[in-house]
Structure 1
Amino acid sequence: MKNFLFIGIIILLLSACVSKKSIIRKDFDNQLSSSFYNNQFTGILVIDADTKDTIYNHNSHKYFIPASNTKIFTLFTAVTILPEKIPALKYINTNDTLYFEGTGDPSFLHPFIKDSSALNFLRNQNNVVYAAGNFEDEKYGPGWAWDDYQWYYSPEKSILPIHGNVIMAYKTNAIQVSPTYFKDSVLELTNKRNRNEFSNVFYYSPESRDTLETPFITSTLTTRSILENILKTKVGIITSMPLGKKQTLYSVPSDSLYKRMMHESDNFIAEQLLLISSSQLNDTLNSKAVRTHILENDLSDLKQEPRWVDGSGLSRYNLFTPQNMVAVLDKLHSQISQDRLFSIFPAGGKSGTLKNRFAGEEHPYIFAKSGSLSNNYCLSGYLVTKSGKKLIFSFMNNHFREPVSEERLRLEQMLQILRDKY
């Protein structure tokens, strides 16, 4: 009798689960069959985080431009390779001279992170020599828009970033500039550009009262000049480190960079995290090498091979499937505690890029990364249902001509269906 009762309960639970999935499938099918989706390309995959059951699947094997959903892969790479604190510098101290090289750490005097670990360390040395030969990358990613050079979201990648590789200019009685090395390079003139394309000459409109954040052109000599201006001492330059065992100086907790990258969709930090990861693997900074390493090792089981060309998602050359996204989100979910994982991702209605959308009724129910380029909007992450179930999802929408606000509204309706009915 007990066996029959147990079997009956199992059948009822399975029937309820099938019924829930059928209701969701019907609602989603009706939504996607509307005329709104006729001229765009949409892919969706939703799975139960615990049972791995597929709740909904639509074009999940097809490739999409992910935009900033690419940062989910960058996060996985960093979490897999980097220690709890970010390696800031590698150095050898010999004959009263400190030889050091950059690791790509973006936190050095970053305007929002404001870490001074490397600065304080270098200030306490008698003689410093900068080894600038381990950067084996390009300053921009493949397919980045050429005219983005002047905008805050597109700083150059570099071996030893300082101040996020941007200048900050704002007006009090006079124009204030940080780093101060560039104070004479900012002209109070109206210009259609914030900076000359090929030189570090910047423009600040006399009528402006905003803080202007503009990338500067990086080079070994510029890095040395900024360092000398900050340290108030001469800095030597060599192409490679002397022979000897390198030591590592660490800076900020790694999670502080992960949260900044995911909450603010910080492109610069995303790119630099790949470079730091590369420096941990083989002492050189090459983002392609670390992407290849991750795909061939930790992500060799992906059902479709992504085309992954940068860390931030600025490039339209990136191609990922919803199955790719859900697979990596699932790996993160199994490797990281839920509290830590959900703190790294923006929470709907509460934090980061989702602060003003996808709000829950009492508590956040969405913890996800959005990604947008013109005519593209993606959202991938985790959803907690009213029944306490955890879902992993990826919604990828490409090539639409409707307002992105309408795209998000329809997506939110589907997310609420998942929250309320599963």
Structure 2
Amino acid sequence: MKGYIKAFRLGLFSITIFVLFSCKSAQISKSLSKSLKANFYDHQFTGFMVYNPRTKDTVFNYNGDRYFTPASNTKIFTLFTALQFLPEYIPAFTYAVAEDTIVMRGTGDPTFLHPYFNDSTALKFINNYKEAQLLINNFKNEKFGPGWAWEDYDRYFSPERSSFPMYGNVVTIAHDNNLVVIPDVLRSRTYLTQSNTQRDYNTNVFYYKSGTKNKIEIPMVMDSMLIDELWKDLIPNKIKLIHKTSRILDQIAYSVPSDSLYKRMMHLSDNFLAEQMLVLSSSMISDTLDVDRVRDSIINHHLKDLKHKPRWVDGSGLSRYNLFTPASFVQVLSKLYTEIPTERLFNFFPSGGVSGTLKNWYTGEARPYIYAKSGTVGNNYSLSGYLLTNSGELLIFSFMNNHYTKPTSEVKARMQSIFEWLRDHY
């Protein structure tokens, strides 16, 4: 009899907890639904999904299965891809040595002489040999991603993709009494101007607007002529560009810690680093660099359980061809949360009110409560990541806004009020 009473009480307790939790979930869902049905959202397309990984419950789902233009939220899939394929240190290039000659093939490593990383691994290697040969035709894809806007060719956020990047594939220009140009070999082709154009189309002739005080970065045209010129400027009479080799390039040189690349890509929403991370990932499965192949591998193998297969065309999210659902972002964020220690994972993401693209938004009261990736392209803004509630729960979310005409700051302000309510009431 005592055992029966004990079991009854335990069952009653479980039912009570379930009812209370259900009531709370219903209250959360009702309040969030009311917020998203406000007149503010009448003339845009909105999706919002919230998931609790501890209870494995969907807390809220509003258009979570609809496809949206994700902009730089695409970088979450790029991060996931890199974490599946890349080792602890970035593979800088593959190579073979024959007597006094080193033969090298690029892997897509973006850090070589990059304005931030300034890695010099390749130079250190080459200095040990009398001659160096660089294989330059192992990148299969176009230099621009599908759907990139052609008029962005001279903008800092749209560098060309390549197999062996140099200087971040940009020329860096500043003005301190005189023009300061890196790489310096392009100084003779850089001019002061009154125009907003920063480079001649498809030509390495650059312009710096008079009166500008900031340092600027302009994409270079990474053709074989420029690559040869840049290398000869670094190490005269030592490097030779080749299109094929009979040697097996099975040795690997490594550059910077991979986590440093992931963090900068996510915090600054760096398009170039994101694109090259897919190129790098492809180097781990083939000597021919092919970002389409590595994306297909991720979708068809590592993420074959995705409920909604995305249309995924680039690594950065520059293209409006990309289409993802909030549910897909929640699924991938859940996988990352399961596979990676929280401290390391949160280090990759900008934190609200503190770092990266979220430094001026989503500020916590005593500590950050949001760790997430933003995505912005004209008339579209999304945010996907992790939210810490005052009750100690961790929630995974994706909040996507497409096709609005109001200022993005107003969209962010609305989102912030919703996130704060969720933080305080869940």
**In the alignment, what sits opposite 2:212?**
208
Q: Following superposition of structure 1 onto structure 2, how do residues 98-137 of structure 1 map, counting pairs within 5 Å?
A: 98-137=102-141
Out of 191-200 and 255-264, give the one that drifted further: 191-200
1:19 match: secondary structure: helix
Please list the CA deviations of residues 68-116 of structure 1 after superposition, one character each: whole Å capped at 9, or x if unmatched.
Answer: 0000000000000110110001101013110001100001111012222
Instruction: Check 1:372–1:245 CA distance in 2 against 1; reply closer, same or farther (3 A cut).
Output: closer
Checking the alignment, whether the CA contact within 8 Å between 1:24 and 1:417 is kept in structure 2 is: no
**In the alignment, what sits opposite 1:24?**
28
1:350 to 2:357 alignment: no
Please list the CA deviations of residues 382-410 of structure 1 after superposition, one character each: whole Å capped at 9, or x if unmatched.
Answer: 11111111111001110011111111111
**In the alignment, what sits opposite 2:193?**
189
**In the alignment, what sits opposite 1:399?**
403
1:261 to 2:265 alignment: yes
How many Å apart are 1:2 and its aligned residue? 3.6
When the two chains are superposed, the root-mean-square deviation of aligned CA atoms in Å is 1.2
**In the alignment, what sits opposite 2:240?**
236
Gaps of at least 5 residues in structure 2 are none
**In the alignment, what sits opposite 2:255?**
251
Structure 2 CA distance for aligned equivalents of residues 259 and 186 of structure 1: 32
Out of 348-357 and 227-236, give the one that drifted further: 227-236
How many Å apart are 1:132 and its aligned residue? 1.0
The residue type paired with residue 396 of structure 1 is M
Checking the alignment, whether the CA contact within 8 Å between 1:303 and 1:324 is kept in structure 2 is: yes
Structure 1 CA distance for aligned equivalents of residues 291 and 372 of structure 2: 24
* 2:155 alignment partner, one of 132, 151, 155: 151
Q: Following superposition of structure 1 onto structure 2, how do residues 212-227 of structure 1 map, counting pairs within 5 Å?
A: 212-227=216-231
Structure 2 CA distance for aligned equivalents of residues 223 and 16 of structure 1: 66
* 1:6 alignment partner, one of 10, 15, 39: 10
1:77 to 2:81 alignment: yes
**In the alignment, what sits opposite 2:44?**
40
1:113 match: secondary structure: coil
Structure 2 CA distance for aligned equivalents of residues 325 and 208 of structure 1: 40
The residue type paired with residue 231 of structure 2 is L
2:75 match: secondary structure: helix
How many Å apart are 1:413 and its aligned residue? 1.3
1:383 to 2:387 alignment: yes
Structure 2 CA distance for aligned equivalents of residues 138 and 147 of structure 1: 16
Structure 2 CA distance for aligned equivalents of residues 16 and 127 of structure 1: 74
Moved over 6 A (4+): none
TM-score by length of 1: 0.98
Checking the alignment, whether the CA contact within 8 Å between 1:160 and 1:223 is kept in structure 2 is: no
2:398 match: secondary structure: strand
Structure 2 CA distance for aligned equivalents of residues 108 and 214 of structure 1: 17
Out of 125-134 and 80-89, give the one that drifted further: 125-134
Gaps of at least 5 residues in structure 1 are none
1:97 to 2:101 alignment: yes
**In the alignment, what sits opposite 1:280?**
284
Structure 1 CA distance for aligned equivalents of residues 419 and 123 of structure 2: 46
How many Å apart are 1:277 and its aligned residue? 0.5
Structure 1 CA distance for aligned equivalents of residues 77 and 360 of structure 2: 25
Please list the CA deviations of residues 283-318 of structure 1 after superposition, one character each: whole Å capped at 9, or x if unmatched.
Answer: 111111111111111011111111000000000000
The residue type paired with residue 65 of structure 1 is T
Checking the alignment, whether the CA contact within 8 Å between 2:158 and 2:271 is kept in structure 1 is: yes
* 1:58 alignment partner, one of 31, 40, 62: 62
Checking the alignment, whether the CA contact within 8 Å between 2:105 and 2:249 is kept in structure 1 is: no
Checking the alignment, whether the CA contact within 8 Å between 1:74 and 1:311 is kept in structure 2 is: yes
1:330 to 2:341 alignment: no
1:54 match: secondary structure: strand
The residue type paired with residue 218 of structure 1 is M
**In the alignment, what sits opposite 1:306?**
310
Out of 180-189 and 309-318, give the one that drifted further: 180-189
Structure 1 CA distance for aligned equivalents of residues 24 and 125 of structure 2: 59
Structure 1 CA distance for aligned equivalents of residues 24 and 318 of structure 2: 38
Checking the alignment, whether the CA contact within 8 Å between 1:88 and 1:248 is kept in structure 2 is: yes
2:285 match: secondary structure: helix
The residue type paired with residue 181 of structure 2 is V
**In the alignment, what sits opposite 1:341?**
345
How many Å apart are 1:245 and its aligned residue? 4.8
The residue type paired with residue 398 of structure 1 is N
Identity %: 48
How many Å apart are 1:28 and its aligned residue? 1.0
Please list the CA deviations of residues 177-210 of structure 1 after superposition, one character each: whole Å capped at 9, or x if unmatched.
Answer: 0011211111122223011012111111232222
Structure 2 CA distance for aligned equivalents of residues 304 and 386 of structure 1: 32
Count of residue pairs the alignment pairs up: 422
Structure 2 CA distance for aligned equivalents of residues 310 and 37 of structure 1: 29
Checking the alignment, whether the CA contact within 8 Å between 1:135 and 1:285 is kept in structure 2 is: yes
Structure 2 CA distance for aligned equivalents of residues 213 and 242 of structure 1: 38
